[in-house]
Structure 1
Amino acid sequence: MQMNAKISSSLDVYKPLRFSFAEPLQTYDAGKIHLEQKRDTLWIPVADSLYTFLQDSIAIRDYTLTYKWTPGESYRIVMDSTAFTNIYGLFTNTYKQEFKVKALEDYANLYLSISGVSDSAFVEILDSGDKPVRTAPVINGGAEFMYMNPGTYYARLFIDRNGNGKYDTGNYSEKRQPEEVSYYPQELELKANWDIEQDWDIYATPVDKQKPEKIKKNKPKEKKRNY
């Protein structure tokens, strides 16, 4: 049976290990899944009670192994043969892979001190394609993002009016307005081994001028001059 392990040789400290199977599983034997941490030249087993191996609630052929990784340390995942059996009775071969968790010095930490928010709210950190890469709630006037990979990011905040933890669009038939959204009007440049704290008044910049030009999908066209 084919298994695809989505494991980078350099793992982010907050990410789980992900595994995907070609067909749905019938059974798996947790006793044949072993996580080990390298100490000097020895591989020391991690107690089964310290990590979880769970099926994805939506993509039923996907599974994740979650553990509180120690930054900068090396690990190994070992899976014995017949650890997984699919609905056709086929099973996996022995699998083994080493990887290292990134060190704290590889990351930047970002704290956004936010004013103008009185209701429940969430902040999304966006990449250059306007897609969320991290989300955090606003707590006591701020949103914190630990272990950010260096790079250029953007920020978007939405007022979570109904408290469901996600952005809700409007509904005309229900006469419901979309939840209020604000953009941090500038780029956020994050560098390795930096702790950055940034103030953000969500009403300081007019709404129509908040979203940075670089992540606008419909950018204004340059006017052509006629000579």
Structure 2
Amino acid sequence: MRFLILLLSVVILASCAKVGSPSGGEKDTTPPKIVSASPANFSTNVNPKQIEITFDEFVKLGNYQSEWIVSPTLKEKPEAKLRGKKLIISLPDSLEENTTYIFNFAGTIGDLHEGNELEEKLFVFSTGAALDSGMVSGNTMDAQKDEPLGKTAVGLFSTNDSNNFPPNYPPKYYAQSNDVGGFEFNYIKENNYWIIAWVDANKNKIVEPEEQIGFLGESIKPWFVKKQDSLKLRLFSNPPDTLISSKQKLFNNRRAVFSFNKEIAEDSLQVLADEVAFVDYFKDSLAVWFKQEQLGDSLIINLKGSTINQRVKMYPIEGINKRESNKLRVINTLSPKKTSDSLFLVFSEPPVSDSIPVELFNEKDSSWTASALYRSTISNQFYFINQAPLGKTVVIKGPTVEGIYNHISDTLTLNYTLPSKEALGNLVVRTTLNQTFSGTPVFYFGIKGKMRHFPYHSGKLDLKQLSAGQYDLFLIFDEDGNGKYSPGNAGLRQQPERVIKYPGAIDIRSNWDLELEWVIPSK
């Protein structure tokens, strides 16, 4: 009897398990649908305190507080919750009269299990007798790279609200550009607007001084009959008004590097301290070499310029004593990329002398030619030899060299192999401009991180002995005469200088002459 009961129990359990097993059916790919709404979508003459939307299935709600876009911007964010198959949105009391409101749900609403997103992402209603029908569309671009810049904030600000530019409050209407920079506003009220795009890094819908920004110099009106030509907003990094050293780092208690929040110029920034021997100025940083090899208890450095007056106190790094080696060394070499380039040497500390006599070996007749290494304007550590090498192999010999900390090098003996002409390529670009731009055209050419400016020369760029690789080419229209790209200034409503990028990369091959025609069409 016991055995029979046990057997029946096993059969029942197995049967239950079989009933509850998954069927392995097809995956659900159907998104949820709206079956009703109160008020109805696209209603007029309504001023709801809440919106109820009923779906044909259970849904889940994502991070609506940060993802939803509500225009015009509400002073108080709406609250949303799910109740069964309903989405209930509570609205603030202060909706404007005769105004169309747009709720963009983005990708926050999807079905419960598969996450299929709701396709009807817009919910629209008007507190007046008609829906506003204005439209604005355009594209956001990186001004310096001349390429689309996606996922940027775009705002329409009423010109009646404030005289500040850019405004320091959220826009009347807000949108976000897509992955390729396209954006579109619909259901806009007729008015005059400033249109501004910016990289909203902190997602607060307010333009911050340090965020990239693009704008039109004049106000715009929405169009109502058909879409006009798309607007182009070219974003740039707004230069800070004041220069600040945002970071300082000490190396070996004898050299300090100061990083700044924008580009610096040697003639507009002074480093004042009794213990400073040399200062190396770079694009947005500088290096200070101290007179003594070891920093004392502390050192005060004053940074002074037209927009900076900063006092920095530095303390020695504990545990660092004298260097392991008491010799001056060549720590790096920058070999020439072509046979006519200069050869650079980098010493472990600045040498005392501005020039160092050396000899170059001549492969043709096995003789030595007198030459010299000269201190570079790039850095007091850098020395270069500008005499053309006498063969494929460069052999340099010279005397011992003394550094500013009294370290002495070994006798200089350096060997380099230059690239053969067969390993290099040549490039000629002929440019035709079929539209007029303000400013003087300047070529900007190179590989990322190693770009150089070249004169326009009636539209011809002629470069010899280039290393094989993928290069970029830009045309900059220099308006301020500094010979390079200059960003705009939002406070002055000044646009960035125009930049046009050559379409695609330029492929330089070994032992190859490449000629290109670059035609820049009319608008």
**Same fold, judged at TM 0.5 (above):** yes
Instruction: Quote the Cα distance in structure 2 between the aligned partners of 1:200 and 1:45.
Output: 46
Please report the TM-score for the alignment, with normalisation by the length of structure 1: 0.73
Pairing partner for 1:159 from 474, 477, 488: 477
SS of 2:352's equivalent in the other structure is: strand
Contact 1:122 1:138 in 2 (8 A): yes
CA deviations 1:23-45 (Å, max 9, x no partner) are: 222236633x22222125x2x22
Aligned to 1:222: none
Counterpart in the other structure of 2:364:
39
Paired AA for residue 94 in structure 1: T
Q: Does 1:111 align with 2:428?
A: yes
Aligned match of 1:93: 410
Give the match for residue 3 of structure 1. 330
Q: 1:34/1:167 Cα in 2 relative to 1: closer, same or farther (>3 Å)?
A: same
Shift, 1:11, TM fit: 5.3
> Which residue of 187, 190, 203 maps to 2:508?
190
Match of residue 146 from structure 1: 464
Name the CA distance, whole Å, in 2 between partners of 1:150 and 1:162: 34
Q: Considering only aligned residues, what root-mean-square deviation do their CA atoms show, in Å? A: 2.6
Paired position in structure 1 for 2:497: 179
Partner of 2:377: 57
Describe the shift of the 1:78–1:197 C-alpha distance in structure 2 as closer, same or farther (beyond 3 A).
same
- Equivalent AA in structure 2 for residue 30 of structure 1: I
Aligned partners of 1:133 and 1:14: how far apart in 2?
18
**Alpha-carbon contact 1:184-1:202 (below 8 Å) kept:** no
Comparing both chains, which one has the higher relative contact order based on Cα–Cα distances under 8 Å and sequence gaps of 6 or more? 1
User: Greater Rg, structure 1 or structure 2?
Assistant: 2
Shift of residue 112 of structure 1?
0.9
Q: Given that residues 54 and 64 in structure 1 are in contact (C-alpha distance below 8 angstroms), is that contact kept between their aligned partners in structure 2? A: yes
Is 1:77 the counterpart of 2:396? The answer is: yes
Q: Specify the code of the residue in structure 1 equivalent to 2:425.
A: A
Give the residue type in structure 2 aligned to 1:45: W
Contact 1:150-1:192 within 8 A present in 2 as well:
yes
**Aligned residue in 2 for 1:210:** none
CA deviation vs aligned residue, 1:72-129 (integer Å, no higher than 9, x gap): 6322111222xx21122221111212223222222111111111177532222343xx
Residue identity opposite 2:369 in structure 1: V
Higher alpha-carbon deviation: 190-199 or 117-126: 117-126
Q: What CA distance in whole angstroms lies between the structure 1 residues aligned with 2:344 and 2:440?
A: 32
**Misfit runs of 4+, over 6 Å:** none
Q: Return closer, same or farther for 1:141/1:85 CA change in 2, 3 Å cut-off.
A: same
User: Where does residue 25 of structure 1 map in the other structure?
Assistant: 351
Identify unmatched segments of 5+ residues in structure 1: 207-227
Counterpart of 1:89 in structure 2: which amino acid?
Answer: N
Measured in 2, the distance between the counterparts of 1:157 and 1:69 equals 33
2:354/2:374 contact within 8 Å kept: no
CA–CA distance in structure 2, aligned partners of residues 200 and 132 of structure 1: 22
- 1:223 maps to what in 2? none
Contact 2:361-2:369 at 8 Å conserved across structures: yes
- Cα distance 1:151–1:167, how it changes in 2: closer, same or farther (>3 A)? same
Query: For the structure 1 residues 46 and 175, does the alpha-carbon distance in structure 2 shift closer, same or farther, using more than 3 Å as the test?
Result: farther
Letter in 2 for 1:36: F
